[in-house]
Amino acid sequence: MSTSEAKTRTQARAVSGVELSRGIGVQAARGFWQDAWSQVIRRPSAVAGLVWVGVVAFFAVFAPFIASGYPLIERQLGAGGVVEGVSYPLFARLSASDVLLLLGAVAGVCWILVPARLPRSARLGAMFFGAFQAGITVILVSLAAGAAGERDAADWLRAMEKSPWFRETACALIAAAVAVPFAALPLIPRRGLRLVVVTVVAVVSGTVCWSTWSAQPTRFDSREREAAGEISATYTLIPWSPNQRRTDLDLLRPGASYHSPEIRAIVRGRPDLVLDGAAIAGVIERVGDVRVPPAERPALRGAVEAELSSLNTATVAEVRGVLNRHAGPWFRFGTDSLGQDVLSQMLHACRLSISIGLVSTTIAVLIGVTLGAMMGYFGGWTDMFLFRIVEIFMAVPVLFLLIVAAGLLPPQFRSTYVIMAIIGCFTWTGAARFIRAEFMRLRTQDFVQSARAVGLPLRSVLFKHMLPNGVTPVLVDASFAIAVAILFESILSFLGLGPPDQASWGRLLSDATNQVGQFVPHLAIAPGAAIFLTVLSFTLIGEALRDAIDPKLKKARV
């Protein structure tokens, strides 16, 4: 027998149990979730969905560093262009949620990916817990700061905020409230380590509170100061904040450039209007493109002059073309009716969309799983009573409730958090019913009896042993629920009832038709596509997940 023949025979042969016990052909076991996940990522559509959600999540975290009207670096110029000092306005103006999201994303990815003894599921749980705490910090501090900073705030409140100790005390209280639950985290067995974790969390959240509270008011004046030669600034990739309004720049087409108001006044005329030499000279004179540092301005002016001065007369369109060519496209997606950059809004709105979807669904799943588990496990009167509550909540139309809430709530409560809470608190019934049915099936299973016989506490029996065996339909349902929540937010914003001063895809869409009475295509295409793709992505992921964990579908396919 030749060697190659022997080789093919060994390859074709299945291994026996004896060989396995000798270590031949042994494969590591895969858990249920690993197996399901590997099936999900085998589907191209689900992978495409995941990639898109990843892109949206990336911009949700990093949007403030990609699109901001504040300079990344600001150099104060003295007489003769000497740099006298450097400041970083963008970092100084980051909000609590910006900082926490950035820290959480960077630290969280490391925390999950770095190999360690602690199992990955436990680390995921800890991260979820941390995110939960961070969310509470942000909500608490924004409520506290908002209530005190309100224009019609009560006198005692205003007096209290003015008192010297108030901010310190409030920040310390919020930090303590956020940090103390970490002491009960079962992950950390040693007391010393626990103390360290609590301290770190308290310090981080305290700092975040403090920086939010003492945030400087919004002021976008760096371009004017740059034009005046006071500073020289370096901007981010997209040098506009989503809430940076310029009424003279409203409804610009995608790719339009930014120039000084005087030039804009000239080139804003009819495209076929012919400009004479004096007007062209005026344009050349005022090419004060603030994107270019003052030192480079003469070069730019020279370039524009070289192209324009050869012409005795030029149409507005020609002048505009030359200016655009040399100043670069500023508003890549154009501006809306308030003169805000569309691309910047698109990126910043990622955060709103994805957080509305995730947070409200998380709230719904948490409530639904807890109540559903109790209904399914205890049965009897508990089930009877709680199921009536489920029926009551099922009868509430969530969208109309949101609309009514938007109309009735005072403006400081019309925040994103309230919308998330309302969606979460009124859509948990699906999760509760799924979990109830699963727990009724599971509670008679032997491994549940066995877990009780070992002496495990009820919490562990319910949520450690029964829940992972019954949570799969809820997870599938949740991925569809995320899509629905995103749609809810878009609908609300489209109706003008969304959270005020928040970049949102739905608000952009509504701007495409409402405010000026005419349809503006460039305001509709980008946000429409984003909403469509995001909802589609979550639906595709949900479908792949459902097929991966449903054994009946698996059998039919293979």
Partner 1 sequence: MPAEPANHVNGHKRHRRLDESQPLLRVENLAVSFDNGSGPRIQAVDGVRMTLYPRQTLAVVGESGCGKSVTAMSLLHLVPRPPGRFDRGRAMFATDDGLRDLLTFAEHEIRRIRGNEIAMIFQEPMTSLNPVYTIGDQIMEAVLLHQAVTPAEAEVIAAGALADVGIEEPLKRMRAYPHQFSGGMRQRVMIAMALACQPKVLLADEPTTALDVTIQAQILELLKTLQRTRQMGIMLITHDLGVVAENADVVCVMYAGRVVEYANVFELFANPMHPYTRGLFDSIPKVGELRERLVTISDVIDNPEAFRSLPGAKQGIRPWWPWHEAPVDLTPQEGPAGDYYLQEVKPEHWVGVWRTRAVELHESRPPDLSYRITDDTARTPPVVGTA
What is the binding site for partner 1 (CB under 8 A)?
21, 28-29, 31-33, 189, 380, 445-447, 449-458, 460, 464-465, 468-469
Q: Among residues 442 and 485, whose Cβ is nearest to partner 1?
A: 442
How far apart CA 77 and CA 231 sit, in angstroms, is: 5
How far apart CA 488 and CA 499 sit, in angstroms, is: 12
Under DSSP, the state recorded for 335 is: B
Q: Among residues 191 and 552, whose Cβ is nearest to partner 1?
A: 191
Q: How far is CA 126 from the centre of its chain?
A: 20
Q: Among residues 297 and 452, whose Cβ is nearest to partner 1?
A: 452
Task: Give the helix ranges, DSSP H, for 180-221.
Answer: 191-213
Tokens 């494969």 found at: 27
Q: Among residues 57 and 188, whose Cβ is nearest to partner 1?
A: 188
Min CB(507)–partner 1 separation in Å = 43
Q: Among residues 468 and 500, whose Cβ is nearest to partner 1?
A: 468
Contact status, residue 525 vs residue 534, Cβ threshold 8 Å: no
Min CB(193)–partner 1 separation in Å = 13
Pairing of strands 274-275, 314-315: antiparallel
With H, G, I as helix, E, B as strand and everything else as coil, classify residue 67. strand
Min CB(293)–partner 1 separation in Å = 59
Under DSSP, the state recorded for 330 is: S
Tokens of 17: 């149990």
Min CB(378)–partner 1 separation in Å = 10
Q: Among residues 171 and 467, whose Cβ is nearest to partner 1?
A: 467
How far apart CA 371 and CA 386 sit, in angstroms, is: 7
Contact status, residue 282 vs residue 266, Cβ threshold 8 Å: yes
With H, G, I as helix, E, B as strand and everything else as coil, classify residue 304. helix
How far apart CA 446 and CA 27 sit, in angstroms, is: 28
Q: Quick one: angle between helices 521-549 and 505-513, nearest 10?
A: 140
Contact status, residue 481 vs residue 434, Cβ threshold 8 Å: no
Min CB(468)–partner 1 separation in Å = 4
Provide the β-strand partners of residue 74: 87, 233
Q: Among residues 21 and 216, whose Cβ is nearest to partner 1?
A: 21
Residue 116: count of CB within 10 angstroms of its CB: 11
Nearest 5°: the CA angle 144, 148, 150 is 115
Provide the β-strand partners of residue 231: 76
Min CB(443)–partner 1 separation in Å = 9
Min CB(471)–partner 1 separation in Å = 10
Min CB(377)–partner 1 separation in Å = 10
Min CB(551)–partner 1 separation in Å = 12
Residue 467: count of CB within 10 angstroms of its CB: 18
Min CB(188)–partner 1 separation in Å = 12
Contact status, residue 282 vs residue 308, Cβ threshold 8 Å: no
Provide the β-strand partners of residue 87: 74
Q: Among residues 36 and 251, whose Cβ is nearest to partner 1?
A: 36
Q: Among residues 164 and 457, whose Cβ is nearest to partner 1?
A: 457
Q: Among residues 10 and 449, whose Cβ is nearest to partner 1?
A: 449
